[in-house]
Structure 1
Amino acid sequence: MDEIGTFLTGNDLDITPANLARAHAICSGEQPEFAALTAAMKDRGEPITQQWLDTLAYDDGRNEQDRAEVDRMASNLQNSIEAFATNARDACTAVADYREAMNSHAQEAEEIDSQETAEELLGRVTELTRAIREQAQLAEEKMQRSEREAISLRRDLEEAQRVANIDHLTGLPNRRALDEMLERLWSDARDVDWDGSDEKEREPVAIAFCDIDNFKPVNDIHGHDTGDRVLQMVARTLAEGAGEDCQVVRYGGEEFVVVYRGFSLEGARENLDAIRTKLSNRPFINRTTRQSLGMITFSGGIADLFAFPDRRSALRAADEALYRAKNSGRDRIELATPPVD
């Protein structure tokens, strides 16, 4: 998040939802082509302007509720940044005033007449001390105010990051959160390899791509409200079935990803197949018309994260296995085939 903030403020770009999305895409590597274009601009010494940034047609796939939440967070961030900048300027001014006052008081002290009486001398020193104390207190108050604003800004940045990583329909982490999660897992795995540990000590991780079968007719026939409730129910069923040590992510549309930590490929298949069976036996009814929605099922593809050269290859392999399941009749789970060395 700090890198995103530096990118926007360093290029004098407004804190807007669109700019936050583009900055995240550039800084996180989510859109490598955007990052490459930005790097090329910097290499040529050309400025990153709002006009140029607008040419990056980035669509993060958020729904209206998500965009409204990001709008709110962007507004809060903008207000916090402006308040922090104002107080920081005030604090700097107070410090400069304090330094000037100290110089002035020091000069006055040098000009004290040695012929003054002890009482007059004490009065001058007391007045100088009082003035210095007032200036120091003013500078301290403004610095404390800047510190409070900095803390508030950090909270807003953390909240913005949380909001950016949550799908608000299901409450699950979203695709961005998945990228960060897999990067951490991959980094941890590299640490095991680099420190000489036995590969067997590395925690196994399987990735499952799931897609609700024939979801479009649900929306077309029963409406998007009913479709949303189906998505929420599938999300809950996956999360409850996978367990606390695993993470379910809404990847987009009717697609979900389950990150099976500590599961072998076969163990993940058994768990996901049990979830699939449980869901297919659950009745779904349109709350408005009381009409049955029929059987709700999903297809899935599973890959071993560390059997592939990188996390993107593993995701792609799980996605390909998912579509083999779709093409084989749906409502089934397929395993990805690891690459041959």
Structure 2
Amino acid sequence: MTGASTSTAGSHHGLTDRLSRWARGLSGKPDEPQVESEPRARAGSAASREINRRRRLYEEIGEFLFAHDLDLTPLNFGVALDYLTGASIGVEKAVQAVLMERGKISNAWMESLAASQRADEVTPDALASMLDKVEENLDEFTGLMTESRNSAKDYGAALQEQAKGLAAGADNEPILARLVSLTRSMVEKTRQVETQLRENQKQTQALKSSLETARRAAEHDHLTGLPNRRAFEGVLREELKLAKEGDEQLSVAFCDIDHFKLVNDTHGHETGDRVLKFVAGLLAKASDDRCHVARHGGEEFVMLFRGKTAAETCEAVDAVREDLANRSLVNRTNGERMERVSFSAGVANVLAYDDPRAALKAADRALYLAKEHGRNRVYLAAEAD
């Protein structure tokens, strides 16, 4: 047993060293000297304590990654570092939540978390800048194509002119020399254009990737993971088209958490965020290719059902409402049982209105009435005449 323990300890120590070197390589910093190679650093000195602190941190990161069978990648290392040091509150909260819910973390989840953190940095200005860059690249690409065509035309015209001289029996030697010069010039020009095109293609590819990330960020709510209002508007247009083509029903529901401000005021915004995510999860269980759920803003969610009448949609939404109202939620921060959490909803038949926006307003009015008449209920909007 002693030999096995020694072997494990040695292996773990080697892993710590590798993590230390790898992490410093990521940051571009040279290897730091070990304690043994620092005879001037007395035990307990600031330098020695810092070295030991980093060693312990790298050891914790290694234990975290291997405990969850995560790949040793820069992305995973960065997320683990943010979580263990508390450098990012968002990362810390997300990791704690998934550990409580699933007990284990996957590589795919780490990638999605890192993507959502990066997405927070995508501002409307940054998106506009990227779009401008794409347009600039496309203009440059068009210019290169025009320049290439013009060069080819000029080259062809010059060759024809020199060919006339050859046909006329003129002195061939200077004409051939000019042909060689023209050919060399065209080859060099072609090489330049090819180089520019390759560089332009690389930049366009990178911009496409950035724009895709920005687009995903612009259409998803990072707290709940649901599509946001902007994404829902696009889905509504598409589903309306499919419903009309397939002669199907289409209904929409607005759901709003009751007394949500009181939840925040009583238990804090962190608990309020967890309530939002919990309600989003319950609603999302109904989501499939014929039912779409999105966070419309604040504590309000929207659901779109294709193939269900407004009455059937009321039943589906009411089942979720009843499920939530019968649950006994606990404040994870202090272990205290929370007041009952519920939501009210308003439902409308989208196809009963000339404009889908009118249907949304009708569902919103029905939601308002549900709130006025006691909350924790689902109301169906009266259809337009």
Unpaired stretches in structure 1, ≥5 consecutive residues: 1-63, 193-200
TM-score by length of 2: 0.59
Checking the alignment, whether the CA contact within 8 Å between 2:119 and 2:214 is kept in structure 1 is no
Partner of residue 70, structure 1 = 123
Shift of 1:250: 0.9
Partner of residue 290, structure 1 = 335
TM-superposition CA deviations, 1:112-135 (whole Å, max 9, x none): 594657x88766655544443343
The secondary structure found in structure 1 opposite 2:271 is: helix
Distance 1:328 1:169, change over 3 A: same
Partner of residue 286, structure 2 = 241
Partner of residue 231, structure 2 = 177
Q: Aligned partners of 2:237, 2:326: CA distance in 1, in Å?
A: 36
Partner of residue 377, structure 2 = 332
Distance 1:254 1:66, change over 3 A: farther
Which structure is richer in relative contact order (CA contacts within 8 A, separation 6 or more)? 1
Which range is displaced more, 91-100 or 279-288?
91-100
The secondary structure found in structure 1 opposite 2:330 is: coil
Q: Aligned partners of 1:226, 1:82: CA distance in 2, in Å?
A: 46
Structure 1 segment 53-68 matched on structure 2, within 5 A: 68=121
Which range is displaced more, 228-237 or 239-248?
239-248
The secondary structure found in structure 1 opposite 2:316 is: helix
Structure 1 segment 172-321 matched on structure 2, within 5 A: 172-190=226-244, 192=245, 202-321=247-366
Distance 1:116 1:319, change over 3 A: same
Shift of 1:333: 1.0
Amino acid at match of 2:334: T
Rg (Cα) greater in structure: 2
Which range is displaced more, 273-282 or 138-147?
138-147
Q: Aligned partners of 1:148, 1:321: CA distance in 2, in Å?
A: 52
The secondary structure found in structure 1 opposite 2:227 is: coil
Shift of 1:291: 2.5
Shift of 1:300: 0.8
Unpaired stretches in structure 2, ≥5 consecutive residues: 1-116
Distance 1:335 1:279, change over 3 A: same
The secondary structure found in structure 1 opposite 2:296 is: strand
Checking the alignment, whether the CA contact within 8 Å between 2:162 and 2:179 is kept in structure 1 is no
Percent of pairs with identical residues = 37
Partner of residue 59, structure 1 = none
Distance 1:91 1:141, change over 3 A: farther
Q: Aligned partners of 1:151, 1:185: CA distance in 2, in Å?
A: 31
